[in-house]
Amino acid sequence: MKLAWIPVILIILFIPVSAITAESVQISGNRPLAPATDSVSSAGTVTPESGSNFVYPIPPERKAQLIAYSRFNNVWRFAEFFISVAVFLIILYTGLSGKFRDWAQKISHKKFFIYLFYFLFLSIALFLLNFIPDYYRNFMVEHQYGFSNQSFGEWLGDNLKSLAVGFVFGFFIILILYWLINRFRRWWLYFAIGAVPFMVFVIIIWPVLISPMFNKFEPINNIELRNQMVALAEKAGIHNPDVYEVNASKQSSKVNAYFTGMFGTKRIVLYDTAVNNFTIDELKFIMGHEIGHYVMNHIWYGLLLAIFLITLAGYLADKILPGIIRKNSRRFGFSRLGDMAGFPLLMLFITVFLFVAQPINNGASRLMEYQSDKFGLEISGTTGDEAATAFDKLSVFNLSDPKPPALIEFWFYDHPALQKRMERVRQLYKQMNKSGV
């Protein structure tokens, strides 16, 4: 599980993925890739001889891995939720949260530093309690299926960076949150309103300041590919975008590409793994899809949904949690919602709320994905078969189940099932040809 969500869940996890990156299409592989070169494959077939350890179309052994990985992920989605719930319950029922507050008050009498040290103690405790499941899921499993290219030290280093970034963002969130709780009856409404500029700030600075802490972003060397990406953006009315290639193979053989930014920070980002394994036409469709999110204002729709969910979650927390606190105040070590020691209880509530609300968030996201698929097909000039091949590679390289169980897709998938998307782009292309588009 991603540890970075722990301190910033009140904001970041309410934002659909498309609101952070204008949506990224993840396309992954099972084995480490060679370093990025200046060329993009001109054929749909990927073989070891073409400079990649991927094999496409899918061989039988890869198909078996896809089935196993998909089944594991279906189970892990539930396991991750219950692990998160258990961790917060441990923090609460052992009285650790109250002790962290008491220790912080002994170190300093100034509120700023009390909050600082409390949140430091809590962040370290959550990191340690989540370490084993995180190590299993994101290191062992990713190595087992050939995704991860990191040593344990590199993986741990990135996790510690994520913890540090989450701590900085989370600390200021907790300061503002508890100032509002202790000052206003309708704190949840003011918090939701105040979240808007914060989320916009995160969307702007994340690709510029945070992402480069983990990877190197360089202007893409492949001139032909760069020109095609810029021309695609210009066609959509986006002028002079930056085009970067990122050394994602440093961490993983998973493949990704995205368009991100607000106002003056518009950038096209291609993972080196994507450059090595996709044709220019396939990349044009993928980036056309990404640009579609931006052009159709999906970022802003995502923010509106985020504000709705924050408001609803805050309102429900304000109504439900005080009663729980009264019944368990001696065990928890705090007696009111405005006590900073109650933060793990609020996080527990948000974790459950997000799990229950997933179908709402994911349903909206899947609708936007379909809209962007159509936009990408129209603006890129690719054929339905080329677009479908990009989705097929998504399934093969990422070990993504193209036909997941209906309940799993409904509850957990923020993208439509790949088989549906493949069928739809082929159908859309036929309709476009008939209408002369």
CA dihedral 422, 425, 426, 427 (to 10 degrees): 120
Residue 15: C-alpha distances to residues 8, 57, 116, 299, 348 (Å): 11, 35, 25, 9, 18
Task: State the catalytic residue, choosing from 23, 290, 369, 386.
Answer: 290
Residue 248 CB contacts under 8 Å (≥ 6 apart), including other chains = 215, 254, 255, 256, 271, 272, 273
The conformation of residue 148, written as its DSSP 8-state character, comes to B
Beta bridge partners of 243: 268
Residue 11 CB contacts under 8 Å (≥ 6 apart), including other chains = 169, 173, 195, 198, 199, 202, 306, 310
Residue corresponding to tokens 């299993």: 136
CA–chain centroid gap for 344, Å, is: 22
Residue 205 CB contacts under 8 Å (≥ 6 apart), including other chains = none
Query: Token digits for 417?
Result: 């099932």
Q: Give, rounded to a whole angstrom, the gap between the first and last alpha carbons of the chain.
A: 44
Q: Phi, psi (5° rounding) for residue 63?
A: -60, -40
DSSP per-residue string spanning 198-229: HHHHHHHHIIIIIGGGTS-EEE-S-HHHHHHH
Distance CA 217, CA 243 (A): 9
61 is catalytic: no
Instruction: Centre a 10 Å sphere on the Cβ of residue 395 and count the other Cβ atoms it contains.
Output: 22
Q: Phi, psi (5° rounding) for residue 244?
A: -120, 150
Residues that are catalytic: 290
